[in-house]
């Protein structure tokens, strides 16, 4: 069963299911570009997608997107507005769910996309925030998507680019962040949800062919709780058809 779809494809399907019908989704790059298309064409036809460059879509793009600024994302858009105007939708609290990724994530859902190592003498310089910090601070809930590799999971990230639950329970309220913080972490091995009272990840499901022990071995220093788990539901035939229609060569999902 697991060989019928790639880890990227099951991640797209899982991410699409995080978008509810009628919601406003801040889409982000890479796999969320596909997840929005799947959601729009299946269970969430009334969802609206916001793209950081200033694009607003109430219909799925007609074809593959390599970046949010590709012509298929502009054609038929509900609106193309200045970036500041789009970001103000976040500031008003009108974004239901935002998607971001990171190089590192820690036990409280904080993400690093800036530096590996010290700020003064980093071992690696990463791309930085873009709009990720805004999404993490202001969206009503946050979905994190990233590969599952030991080096990415830390007790504490080297640099907090995009805050999750900060230093732990109550931190977001203490510093005045209006957004709800992380609600899910989707990886190449499983899906976690966040206990918002504790600020920590709870393993929800393992992808087909993956066990809890496999995830523990590959989770580095990440602290997470295991209550009950089940296999992640693979893409349906319809979801898989849509994913492969948009990504026929596996550019994003191969």
Dist. CA 124–CA 117, nearest whole Å: 7
DSSP per residue, 124-142: EE----TTHHHHHHHSSEE
The reply to whether 52 belongs to the active site is: yes
CA count, 13 A, side-chain hemisphere, 224: 31
Q: Give the other-Cβ count within 10 Å of 185's Cβ.
A: 27
Catalytic residue among 9, 52, 104, 200: 52
How far is it, in rounded angstroms, from Cα 196 to Cα 165?
Answer: 8
- For the chain, the 3-state helix, strand and coil shares in percent, each to the nearest 5, are 25, 25, 50
Token pair 């999404």 is at which residue?
Answer: 135
Q: CA torsion, points 12, 15, 17, 22, in degrees to nearest 10?
A: -120
Q: Which residues contact 222 (CB under 8 A, 6 or more apart)?
A: 105, 106, 107, 153, 154, 155, 201
Nearest to 215 by CA among 185, 192, 190: 190
Q: How many residues in total does the chain contain?
A: 254
**How far is Cα 64 from Cα 23, in angstroms, rounded to an integer?**
22
- Residues labelled catalytic: 52
């Amino acid at each position: 069963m697991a060989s019928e779809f790639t880890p990227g494809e099951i991640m797209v399907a899982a991410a699409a299911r995080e978008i509810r019908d009628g919601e406003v989704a801040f889409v982000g790059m890479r796999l969320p570009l596909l997840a929005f298309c799947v959601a729009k064409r299946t269970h969430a036809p009334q969802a609206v997608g916001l793209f950081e460059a200033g694009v607003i879509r109430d219909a799925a793009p007609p074809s593959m997107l390599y970046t949010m600024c590709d012509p298929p994302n502009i054609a038929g858009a509900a609106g193309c507005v200045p970036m500041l105007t789009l970001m103000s939708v976040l500031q008003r609290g009108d974004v239901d769910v935002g998607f971001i990724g990171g190089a590192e994530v820690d036990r409280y859902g904080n993400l690093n996309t800036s530096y590996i190592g010290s700020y003064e003498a980093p071992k690696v310089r990463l791309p930085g925030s873009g709009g990720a910090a805004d999404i993490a601070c202001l969206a009503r809930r946050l979905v994190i998507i990233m590969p599952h590799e030991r080096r990415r999971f830390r007790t504490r990230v080297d640099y907090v680019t995009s805050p999750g639950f900060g230093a732990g329970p109550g931190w977001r309220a203490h510093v005045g962040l209006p957004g709800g913080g992380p609600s899910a972490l989707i990886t190449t091995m499983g899906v976690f949800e966040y206990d918002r009272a504790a600020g920590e990840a709870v393993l929800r499901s393992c992808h087909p062919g993956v066990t809890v022990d496999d995830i523990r071995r590959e989770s580095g220093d990440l602290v997470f709780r295991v209550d009950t788990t089940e296999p992640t539901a693979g893409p349906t035939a319809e979801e898989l058809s849509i994913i492969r229609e948009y990504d026929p060569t596996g550019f994003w999902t191969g």
